[in-house]
Amino acid sequence: MARACPDLSIVIPAYNEAQRLPPSLWRLAAYLADAPYRFEIVVVSNGSDDGTEDVVRGLVPAIPGLRLVVETRRGKGLAVRRGIEASRGQIVLLCDADLSMPPEHISDFLASLAHVDVVVGSREAPGARRIGEPWHRHVMGRVFNALVRGLAVPGIDDTQCGFKAFRRDAAETLARRQTINGFGFDVELLYLARKYGYRMKELPITWHFDPASRVRPGIDTFHMLRELITIRLRDLRGAYGPVHRTPEPVLVAQTVPVVEPSIR
């Protein structure tokens, strides 16, 4: 008998995360142990050579719903795309391997999706908290986001936070059209969501800075700027195709009341 599809898919891109990933997976498992919905955790190893895949395989028997997808090529955007394609949930939540956001926020994402199609975890929205981030990294992030708001996704204060949730139809449509394999994939996903008329909301979260972050200040920022320009050029050339939906995009206000998740 075929297994029922999960309600929630948590997609975790992982490049050389043999050390950081196990504590995150155990923490997620503990939080989800009493969840009133079906779930899966999809780890996508993309080009890892530190034993990440063996570590995840070893945890599969112990952690309910854990699955491994192996992508030999590098690129966080590529890993996210593969994870969405492999996922089966009605809701897809993107999650960083270091679990820098407390898993308790997951219920906030699910509740928000009762009203919108895409929920963007935000370290800048009113009520959000950043813990332990060096000031120079924060400044660089704000400069980059100012460019993003001006050139691609106005109205979103934090496009680069690794925690985002999508209704199934939005996740599949955006993954099919996503082309950026590097860190700029976040901007592309939200740019396409705006272009196709999906309703979006920023959700304030508590975020803990991890000194072992894979993002390299300067180098990766330069690559993301280049990818930002690429996104605009591709759209001008018609590479993203026609608008997917007819409604105008709506950025839902932060004051939307929290309700219980609709999935059961």
Which of the given ranges, 58-62, 181-185, 256-260, has the highest pLDDT on average?
58-62
Question: Helix (H, G, I), strand (E, B), or coil: what is residue 208?
Answer: strand
Angle at which helices 168-177 and 185-195 cross, to 10°: 120
Q: In this structure, is residue 8 part of a structural domain? A: yes
Torsion of CA 47, 48, 54, 60, to 10 degrees: -70
pLDDT at res. 133: 80
- What is the mean predicted confidence (pLDDT) over 29-48? 95
Q: In this structure, is residue 261 part of a structural domain? A: no
- List, as one string, the DSSP characters of 111-130: HHTTT-SEEEEESSSTT-EE
Band of residue 152 on the pLDDT scale cut at 50, 70, 90: confident
Mark whether 67 and 91 lie in a shared domain: yes
Residue closest to 6 by CA, chosen among 88, 73, 61: 88
Q: Per-residue pLDDT tens for 166-178? A: 999 999 999 999 9
Mark whether 120 and 235 lie in a shared domain: yes
**Rounded to two decimals, what is the model's pTM?**
0.85
- What is the mean predicted confidence (pLDDT) over 204-208? 92
257 versus 246: the higher-pLDDT residue is: 246
- What is the mean predicted confidence (pLDDT) over 27-47? 95
Distance CA 103, CA 165 (A): 13
Q: In this structure, is residue 146 part of a structural domain? A: yes
Mark whether 70 and 150 lie in a shared domain: no
**Which residues are paired to 48 by β-bridges?**
none
Mark whether 113 and 74 lie in a shared domain: no
pLDDT at res. 259: 36
Band of residue 221 on the pLDDT scale cut at 50, 70, 90: low
| Residue that finishes a domain, picked among 77, 99, 121 | 99
Q: Per-residue pLDDT tens for 13-29? A: 999 999 999 999 999 99
- What is the mean predicted confidence (pLDDT) over 4-14? 92
Q: Point out the least confidently predicted range of 4-13, 47-56, 158-167, 202-211.
A: 202-211
Q: Which residue has the tokens 């999508």?
A: 166
Band of residue 245 on the pLDDT scale cut at 50, 70, 90: low
Domain range for 135: 104-161+169-252
Q: In this structure, is residue 260 part of a structural domain? A: no
Count the domains in the chain.
2
Residue 194 has pLDDT above 70, yes or no: yes
Q: Per-residue pLDDT tens for 76-101? A: 999 999 999 999 999 999 999 999 99
Mark whether 81 and 121 lie in a shared domain: no
Q: Which residue has the tokens 């976040």?
A: 186
pLDDT at res. 252: 39
Q: 25, 41 in Cβ contact below 8 A?
A: yes
Amino acid identity for residue 64 in this structure: P
- What is the mean predicted confidence (pLDDT) over 119-124? 94
Q: In this structure, is residue 198 part of a structural domain? A: yes
pLDDT at res. 260: 40
